[in-house]
Structure 1
Amino acid sequence: MSEQQKTVALEAELDALRREVQRLRARNAELEADRGFPGRLVDALPSLVYVLDLEERRYVYWNRELAELAGGNIGAAAGPLRGDGLSSMFHPDDIGRIEGYRARVAASESGEQATVEYRARGRDGGFRWFLERGVALGRDPEGSGRRMLGSAHDITAHKHTEQMLERSESLLHAFLEYTPSMMVAVDVEGRLLLVNREIESYYGMSREELLGKVVYDLLPPAASASIRKANDEIAAAGQPGASEHVLVYPDGPRNYLSTKFPIRDAEGKLYAVGTVSVDISRTKQAEAERAEMQRRLIEMQQATIQELITPLLPLARGVVAMPIVGTVDPARAEQILTTLLEGIAARKARIAILDITGVKGVDAHVAQSLVGAARAAGLLGTRVVLTGIKPQIAQTLTMAGADLSGIVTKGTLESGIAYALRARRRS
């Protein structure tokens, strides 16, 4: 092989070596990237992740989220940080709980997790709630965990929801315990889902005994049918409504005004009907008493009005007068007859003056009724004097064929009174 050939061969081998070196460098870069991938993956997590040496109480690893949350405490550290270095992050009241949690991790079996909830300062400086899970990574010769892996995530929103739920439950409990009204919820089959103390008192059963029972089976037939109908109507309409019911107690029936409303789940499907019932027995009794009082008052007013429109006036012993004013219809003619006869009998009147000066007009039937009243008085032994007859009324009486025999007629009330007084003196 010539020198030139040897040179060409060496150059070829050298090129091959260069390509192999480049390949090895690329592969090494890939391996370096692969080794860094887990760290980048953990840094991308929104949770706080760390590894703690439990014996030396120092952090040997922490992810970016924890570093940013801790600020200078971790971010400026060049090496492992003492475990106490983050104590200022935690709420003072939670330090003991965290220490107990780490002790449980140290004593736990391999792979067994422990959990703890605590408050730590967030980026805004305020305390936020975290839920942490931890597991032991390795153990010392005595069997205790030498290192632990911890992972915590922010549960502040969950805690807030939990607190609001607890507050709502406390509020509901207070209403159920102390509201004097009946409060109940039943599903579409009538099974009791919620009852308050008033319901317990009515049925004489505890809440635990009542829940799950069908309310319609606990009521008398009439009340059961009425309440079932009302609940079914609310369920069908899907709208609130009100109705009255009667429940029987040992001391008697009581009236209730019930406001009913549909209860829906998160998807909007109706699954129950709620009821708030207020005892309105006293109100109903008061209304009945007011109605009775009003009825009596109306009767008294009507009696007073009748006395005013058909007054019977005593003029002298044995002499009475009834002035009639306005229009006389059959009903009033009947009232005139009744008042006249009762007054004559009560006052033992011998002469009665019936003055129709103020009467506007009468028909034939009413004219006959007035004459009949006069004749009825005559049957009681009373002489009737009819005064104030107008031409129109005289014509009506004539056309009606009214028999005025035995009845004294005078043109004016004044002449009628004079006649009555003279007749009284003569008798």
Structure 2
Amino acid sequence: MSENAEIARLRAENAVLRRRVAEQDVERERLERLLQATIDHVDAVIYLRDADGIFTHINDTYVRLTTLSREFVIGKRDSDVFPKEVYEAFRVADREVVETLKTFTQEELLPQDDGMHFYRSYKFPVLDGEGKLIAQGGISTDLTAQRRAEETLRATRSVLQAIVENAPLAILATDAAHRYVLVSHEAARQVGRTPSDVMGKLISDILPPGAAEAMESTTDQVLHSGKTLVLEQTVPWEGDSKVFLTHMFPIRDSAGDITAVGTIATDVTEMRRSENEYARLQQEVIQAQRTALLELSTPVVPIADGVLAVPLIGAIDHERNQQIANALLERVAATRTRVVILDLTGVRQVEPEIVDALLQTVRAVRLLGTEAVVTGISPDVASMLAGLDAPLRQLTVRQTLQHGVEHALTRTRARRS
């Protein structure tokens, strides 16, 4: 083969090689773009490093969460990117991957602008066809929100547990089948049980008859209405009765469906008994005060030997009229009273039936042998007396108290002489 022919052959082979290299470069770029586009759409931190630990790829999530640009990270090692205490923690898993050529999982901490973040990292080897390490990959999932939610949930549960264990209230929850799914210590104590004895049991297995039916009925009301129910119940309880102030409310799942009914019940039996006893004593005090006031407002005044005067002031109702009659008749019977003067000067208004009752008092006084004299009659009272069926001759009437006293003294002197 001539020299020119050999040169032509070499040139042709070289052109083929250049074309293949160009095609491979195009394919490599296509695969590179495909790889980058794929990892950029994953909501987890993804990164690749070569066998020497130098970053070759990071995805958009890596950039977003670390706030480090691609230009800054690519071509560097962990020690060039993160603080010493951070990358030294990373190296534990990296060495494990290099030494074992197996996937390694660990939890890692990464400081960020809003505080420390928790990541679960899966680090894996990338091997060539002969099983040799050519790169290291990592996929890290940010668990910070989940961890914080779990911590919040644990804290909430701790608070709830503390309330359930220590609150002086009966706190409980029952499902649609009337089974207990939550029981506080106080709720269990009230029925002589422990919470573990009550959990999972039916209401009818725990509460006495009557009380169980009442709770099942109100539980069903809340289940069907979906509304909070507040009521005070008096229920039969071991041969007696108890009074509970009860708040019942629906408990819903994440879909909004009612799964149970919560109950907070306070035993107010003793409080209600104390209130009733206090009300009874208060009523007795009021009645005693009223009686004392009536007695003070109805004085029976001795005017002379055998003469009593009863000056009436203010409104007269049935109760006061009865008190006037009793006080007067007792005094007349206990003394040698000849004349009683009922002075109505201070009474401006009185009901017709009260006038009739006063006349009955006058008749009762006459039956005891005592003359009754009525003084100070107002025009309105006079009109009422004129319209009554009772004969007016039963009354001795004088215009004023002074006239009544003069009449009484005259009568007593006449009797003595």
- TM-score, normalised to structure 1's length? 0.71
Aligned to 1:13: none
1:346–1:149 distance in 2 versus 1, CA, 3 Å: farther
Shift of 1:417: 2.1
Structure 2: how far apart are the matches of 1:398 and 1:200?
73
Aligned to 1:120: 110
The count of residues paired between Structure 1 and Structure 2 equals 394
Among 199, 212, 225, the residue aligned to 2:213: 225
Aligned to 1:320: 308
* Residue pairs, 1:223-302, within 5 angstroms: 223-246=211-234, 254-281=242-269, 283-302=271-290
1:104–1:250 distance in 2 versus 1, CA, 3 Å: farther
- Whether 1:40 and 2:43 are equivalent positions in the alignment is no
SS of aligned partner of 2:83: helix
Shift of 1:381: 3.6
CA displacement, residues 273-296 of structure 1 (integer Å, 9 cap, x when unaligned): 222223444543453244224422
SS of aligned partner of 1:303: helix
Contact kept, 8 Å, 1:185 with 1:194, in 2: the verdict is yes
Contact kept, 8 Å, 2:55 with 2:75, in 1: the verdict is no
Contact kept, 8 Å, 2:250 with 2:262, in 1: the verdict is yes
Shift of 1:32: 3.1
Aligned to 2:159: 171
Contact kept, 8 Å, 2:180 with 2:203, in 1: the verdict is yes
1:423–1:294 distance in 2 versus 1, CA, 3 Å: same
* Residue pairs, 1:355-394, within 5 angstroms: 355-358=343-346, 360=348, 369-388=357-376, 393=382
Contact kept, 8 Å, 1:182 with 1:277, in 2: the verdict is yes
Structure 2: how far apart are the matches of 1:183 and 1:253?
20
Among 278, 300, 303, the residue aligned to 2:291: 303
1:273–1:325 distance in 2 versus 1, CA, 3 Å: same
Contact kept, 8 Å, 1:43 with 1:63, in 2: the verdict is no
Shift of 1:318: 4.2
Contact kept, 8 Å, 1:195 with 1:207, in 2: the verdict is yes
Among 55, 61, 64, the residue aligned to 2:58: 64
Aligned to 1:4: none
Contact kept, 8 Å, 1:50 with 1:151, in 2: the verdict is no
CA displacement, residues 165-192 of structure 1 (integer Å, 9 cap, x when unaligned): 2222222222222322222222222222
1:148–1:212 distance in 2 versus 1, CA, 3 Å: farther
- Whether 1:420 and 2:405 are equivalent positions in the alignment is no
Aligned to 2:9: none
Among 176, 200, 209, the residue aligned to 2:197: 209
Structure 2: how far apart are the matches of 1:177 and 1:307?
58
Contact kept, 8 Å, 1:320 with 1:351, in 2: the verdict is yes
Shift of 1:161: 1.8
Structure 2: how far apart are the matches of 1:311 and 1:85?
109
Shift of 1:415: 3.1
Any unmatched runs of 5+ in structure 2?
1-11, 128-132
Contact kept, 8 Å, 2:180 with 2:201, in 1: the verdict is yes
CA displacement, residues 234-254 of structure 1 (integer Å, 9 cap, x when unaligned): 233322231113478899755
Contact kept, 8 Å, 2:316 with 2:354, in 1: the verdict is yes
Instruction: Give the alignment's Cα RMSD to 1 decimal.
Output: 4.6
- TM-score, normalised to structure 2's length? 0.73
Structure 2: how far apart are the matches of 1:173 and 1:303?
57
Shift of 1:199: 1.8
SS of aligned partner of 2:288: helix
Among 399, 404, 419, the residue aligned to 2:393: 404
Among 38, 42, 47, the residue aligned to 1:49: 47
1:280–1:344 distance in 2 versus 1, CA, 3 Å: same
Structure 2: how far apart are the matches of 1:176 and 1:233?
24
Paired AA for residue 57 in structure 2: N
Any unmatched runs of 5+ in structure 1?
1-15, 139-144
Contact kept, 8 Å, 1:356 with 1:387, in 2: the verdict is yes
Structure 2: how far apart are the matches of 1:385 and 1:227?
69
Among 83, 86, 89, the residue aligned to 1:88: 83
Contact kept, 8 Å, 1:105 with 1:134, in 2: the verdict is yes
Shift of 1:260: 2.1
